[in-house]
Structure 1
Amino acid sequence: MAAVLVAALLVFPGAVPNAVGRVGSLLETFLPWLGLAVPVLLALAARRRSAVALGAALVPLAAWCVLFAVPSLTHTDRPYDLTAVQHNVDDANPDPSGTARALLRARPDVIALEELTPAALPEYARALAAEYPHHATAGTVGLWSRHPLSDVRPLDIKPEGIPAGWQRGLRATARTPHGEVAVYVAHLPSVRIGAGGLRSAWRDESAGLLGAALDAEPLDRVILLGDLNGTLDDRGLRPVTAHVTGPRSRFAFSWPETFPLARIDHVLTREATVTDVWTLPATGSDHLPIGSRIRL
């Protein structure tokens, strides 16, 4: 019975309601880690020497492999046109210049940063200026590009209950050799996990505003880079994932840096494909940077 329940939760996490404590979203956030139940089930089956129990334990194992292992291990060597890096640099980062230099090693075409502070911004700008002559900032988010940027504007994704002055989004048009691409940078509000479950109301409201902006975007090709404070499985991000999609891999966990549990930093696209995603080495942030290759 336990094996069937684990398999059902893996395949149908949306069946778990969000009415109390947003338990459904909490499950979806850490869904890959549900696979840790499989070794326990296999050990219990071996201890009981039960072929039936062993067969039952193989059901969630198969489900986990199909959902997570196979997409992550499939390597297609597909061509790509752009490399992008997304990083929440942490507003308490002790080494902004070193962090910027670390991101440069990936040789990206575009870099999106969140949690930029007024004190640290000049350091990032100086470190990136030589290779990224085009850049834009809005509040605490920024975009650096090898390609010219135009039609740059702040993006209003502020939930109603947050005080004025909160600015965590921008939109720009990048003129790449492959045509114009709308590039969005967003940092959605944090979620909190406590005795009452998952608190994500502001994050969900902000996701709705971001989704509406993406829906209204006139350019066909879109790249969204940002710390969305949720995984792609989390139903709270559905207003966003209805308009942009991510890579097949569900790993490349980016947070927390000391023991990554989930990828809440994303590079998502419309009318383009993320062909690869990976984590870069740790910087002075509590997030790991995310690198990605994009086929336009």
Structure 2
Amino acid sequence: MGDRDDRAERGGGDRERRTRSQGGLKMTGSWALVASSALLLALAGLVLRNGALLAVALPYLFFSLLPLWATRTRLHIRVKRELEPDHLLGGQAGSMRVELANRGEDLAEVFLTDLLPPGLKTEGDRDYHGSFAAGQVKSLSYTVRGVRGAYAFSGVSVVTGDLLGLRREEKVYPCPRTLVVLPATERLERIKISPRRTRVFAGMIRSRESGAGVEFFGTRGYVPGDPLRHLNWKAGARWDLLITNLFEQERIADVGIILDARSIMEIRIGEDSLFEHSVRAAASLAEYFLGEGNRVGLLVYGNFVEWTVPGYGK
């Protein structure tokens, strides 16, 4: 049996690649039963010198040898996988579609199964059992959900057999794709922080310096050029001076988030994990402060110390 090519190409949301399939020919349990029966009857006939037992063994022997003589199925299947989107949040559902096109001969019975990486939950049709005519296209469509992590899809298993159920041929057509599940985040209310230093750009964090802002910061004597709308008439009447209101300038800041990733943090109660809650909290804080225009850095403290320098983005 020669291996057959399949194709997988990726453009935007799909991938299809020309590669070699993996698998081989296997005899089923039914064949083992028939072959064992033929062997036992033949041995009993020879030992007992009983022609009737030998005659009964002949049909069993014929059927056990039939799969070896029959022409093997020529599998030639093109596989194409589409995943939308390829990045999910924890608990979010993604749509998976696997398209298989039979470029070989008619298959009277075939089992098609998309091989699933452990840890994912699915809803829908991930497998198919039935006939598969030459030129026909079958689609497996289902949704996937998972917790935080990266999930590597390997390929599709194609199993065919003869009409007698004595022989089975299985191939795995590689069709790789990686699904990344990011930690789910929570929507946070306004968080007030007072860093010692802020950056020069306008933001939402009070900088402890006077300037353009909305929060009252103090007063000083009037200086030519001060906006008239900032004059404090009540204080000026008391002191018989022109007094200007000052406001605290709001700027952006560098925010650092520390995640404790030591093994002692992996405390579980049922399906709940303290570490996973910590990851969600860190992700929620990062999303909030980035959304406010700040730079965010992350330090992960575990067996090793890993970090990212503060930066903008998502």
- Larger relative strand fraction: 2
Larger radius of gyration: 2
- Larger relative helix fraction: 1
What TM-score does the superposition give when structure 2 sets the normalisation length? 0.23
Greater length-normalized contact order (CA 8 Å, ≥ 6 residues apart) = 1
What TM-score does the superposition give when structure 1 sets the normalisation length? 0.24
